[in-house]
A and B are shown apart, each in its own frame.
Chain A
């Protein structure tokens, strides 16, 4: 079946295939009283159930001295297609976060929610609690189709709802058939009849090996590209004619992860393949793009296993031809479209139906009661039952679908808790910044990100002000490692952690998501970052063309070679 040479399967591949439908020894791992960790092989499998095993990296030394093991806990991420949640679900989420996790509700760059610091003994209660509010974490991590993102703001199109429904449909077609999640976490009875189990769990898409690596699908609604559509393995761009959705332009092979010092790895934007008409063909094309990656992706080196490498190995034309062959239809020429922005539209907006939307500024997507009582305020809004919650791919939140008659009540809560002032007052760069989690929980982190970027921006803001750039919405993104969760390669200014306190400084991305940046300076610390930015902003303020963005300026001035 596989057409590539995968003689040396990676250890993860072997674990998946031997896992009995993602069960592994998870039940035994949960029963083990003397450790907060799970067995090593199970750490690969638990991802498919929406979790990562992590530990508090700040406390490793202290705990070793006390003869205590590392403080293991689990990050649990929800499957939340399109980032949508009802008010009741949000109240549930708020309570679960308090009962079982650090309490911080983290909005991810893929429009979903993750909770950190869940101890092993709390994992089952957490998942069971989510189940009561009809939320799950299936496939939120792991080598499967991940959370499907979709343009968040309903104001962009009267047919947003129709396009939005594709997120749910694509999420569903990419769900594994295994019942392991229900057995392990929700105590459902396992199917004892072997034949029956085989029938129920027969998985034509994933078989027993799942995908070689994570697979991300994003849906954009022009003219906004808030989902950063080209950074996805598969990007769908809604094409609307005469107020009707006629289909999607499909692009494939996006992905931002790279490895320091490994030249074979690189960030890549998706290549445009063509236009697909109608729902049936669209879903077929998505499914078959996944099957090509399943069959052709690299299963021996996980650093080279994303779809982008598969496509570059095959060639875009060959990939398109294979896709057309598997689909049984040809792709049409891509339809014209344009993106003019990628940002969240803060504040109040009204849609075509007269419903109101308030986009809240949430720094690094962390919902907590810190500078302002954001978490309490949002709970109060949820308790009114008058707003839905829509998370954005920019780690933002839209309180949505608020009737004209209810707007005042919501606005009063937001005003009383200082949320409106907090949102209005935040600077342009801060509002558009993204930071990944990094320390203290991410095992991949080399440097700080969400704990550091806010304070770095505080130091950058006076420099911007010095050159009159304080209202310039320069996109600035930081990650603690080169794996790209905060999409730093698609920013005008990207900080990519190399070591503690040090970052590569990338420049030259555009503001709409069509162009990746390039490395400008390597491995620099904060004083050097501030000095570089001071010089860059001075040049930009003096020499920019009218309306020219900082990213475009950096390219025109050849600060980096794109």
Chain B
């Protein structure tokens, strides 16, 4: 289809690879963004609707004329971007292991179910198979001193860093209290690390857990609703010096959660909305309000 020799070496962004290696490992060919599709259309001189589409489908529907044209296409492809995942294990609890928490991304394109590139790659990875990765340090989003209370708000895969936090505090016997808010769609299928969380409640490392499953009832219930249900205790924890962490979707989750915190501070701290904002800013300055959202 490409009319090109797979073993042929090509230069792509100052690196030389065989064509096979390049297409397999370096460039994104799964779902090309619209900007790339547009450039492809220019190369093959055809009208192509601007939509996400795989390189394979493009080649099938709008074939290239010859190998030279394909090499031109190579030039417009974009490298695969690295994915950053929060580590969900603790060196003290899971010695010699690094865990990550990945949701397989499923979406529909033209009525067909497709999987996200990286999550699908990880899901299909053979046990014991090799994986290339690097560690990206985050110096802010870390546990406070061992005697400090921690409130963790991590719906969905946002639970990842908190699993490592709790496992760490469990393993080291940290004295601070720990409160977890978790949420997802369905209680029966989406309660990530449910049995671990139950054990942590039993052993006492987790002081409180509140969960919200949005699709189990007619009205959607999210973590912020659970925060409101426990607003009084939430504010008491804040007043007591608790650190608050949020991890997960930037929008709408982290926005809603932040807004809810302001409401709680207003109501239970008897503050005006401006004072509540100030209170939250103060928390941020003290490094007691940390977000890892995406």
Query: Could you tell me which A residues sit within 8 Å of B by CB distance?
Result: 33-36, 64, 67-69, 71, 119, 121
Contacts and interface: CB of A to CB of B under 8 A. Distances in A.
Nearest to B216: A121
B259 interface: no
A68 B211 contact: no
B154 to A, nearest CB: 15
Interface stretch (B13-21, B35-43, B144-152, B190-198): B190-198
A294 to B, nearest CB: 38
Given A35-B198, A119-B187, A67 B193 contact: yes
B185 interface: no
Contacts of B187: 36, 119, 121
A68 B194 contact: yes
Contact of B192 (A34, A36, A67): A67
B188 A34 contact: no
Nearest to A64: B195
A261 B191 CA distance: 41
A68 B191 contact: yes
A67 B194 contact: yes
A447 B163 CA distance: 39
A68 B198 CA distance: 10
B100 interface: no
A121 B221 CA distance: 14
Contact of B195 (A33, A67, A71): A67
A67 to B, nearest CB: 5
Interface size for chain B: under 10, 10 to 19, 20 to 34, or 35 or more residues?
10 to 19
B283 interface: no
Given A67-B194, A69-B194, A121-B217, A33 B211 contact: yes
A68 B192 CA distance: 7
B198 A71 contact: no
A72 to B, nearest CB: 9
Given A67-B195, A68-B195, 15 more contacts: A33-B209, A34-B194, A34-B197, A34-B198, A34-B209, A35-B198, A36-B188, A67-B193, A67-B196, A68-B188, A68-B191, A68-B194, A69-B198, A71-B188, A121-B216
A119 B188 CA distance: 9
Contacts of A34: 191, 194, 197-198, 201, 209, 211
Nearest to B190: A68
B195 A69 contact: yes
Interface of chain A, helix or strand or loop or mixed? Answer: loop
A34 B195 CA distance: 9
A355 to B, nearest CB: 42
A132 B23 CA distance: 64
Contacts of B210: 33
B252 to A, nearest CB: 22
Contacts of A119: 187-188
B200 to A, nearest CB: 10
Contacts of A64: 195
Contacts of B201: 34
Interface of B: 187-189, 191-198, 201, 209-211, 216-217
Contacts of B191: 34, 68
A34 B191 CA distance: 9
Nearest to A59: B188
A100 to B, nearest CB: 12
B195 to A, nearest CB: 5
Contacts of A35: 198
A400 B196 CA distance: 53
Contacts of B198: 34-35, 69
A206 B255 CA distance: 57
A412 B49 CA distance: 55
A33 B209 CA distance: 8
5 contacts: A33-B211, A34-B194, A34-B198, A34-B211, A68-B195
A452 to B, nearest CB: 26
Nearest to B163: A67
The 8 tightest CB contacts between A and B, nearest first, are A33-B211, A67-B195, A68-B194, A67-B193, A34-B209, A69-B194, A69-B195, A67-B196
A101 B217 CA distance: 14
A55 to B, nearest CB: 11
Contacts of B216: 121
A62 to B, nearest CB: 11
B207 to A, nearest CB: 13
A187 B189 CA distance: 29
Contacts of A71: 188
A121 B216 CA distance: 9
A67 B191 CA distance: 9
Contacts of A36: 187-188
B205 to A, nearest CB: 14
Contacts of B193: 67
B226 to A, nearest CB: 8
Contacts of A67: 192-196
Contacts of A68: 188-189, 191, 194-195
B100 to A, nearest CB: 14
A457 to B, nearest CB: 34
Contacts of B217: 121
A68 B195 CA distance: 6
**Among A64, A69, A71, which residue has the most Cβ atoms of chain B within 10 A?**
A69
Contacts of B211: 33-34
A547 to B, nearest CB: 55
Interface centre among A33, A36, A121 (most CB of B within 10 A): A33
A69 B196 CA distance: 9
A87 to B, nearest CB: 28
A36 B188 CA distance: 8
Contacts of A121: 187, 216-217
Nearest to B206: A34
Nearest to A119: B188
Nearest to A121: B216
A291 to B, nearest CB: 42
A414 to B, nearest CB: 36
A68 B188 CA distance: 8
A34 B226 CA distance: 13
A47 to B, nearest CB: 23
A67 B196 CA distance: 7
Nearest to A68: B194
Contacts of A69: 194-195, 198
A465 to B, nearest CB: 45
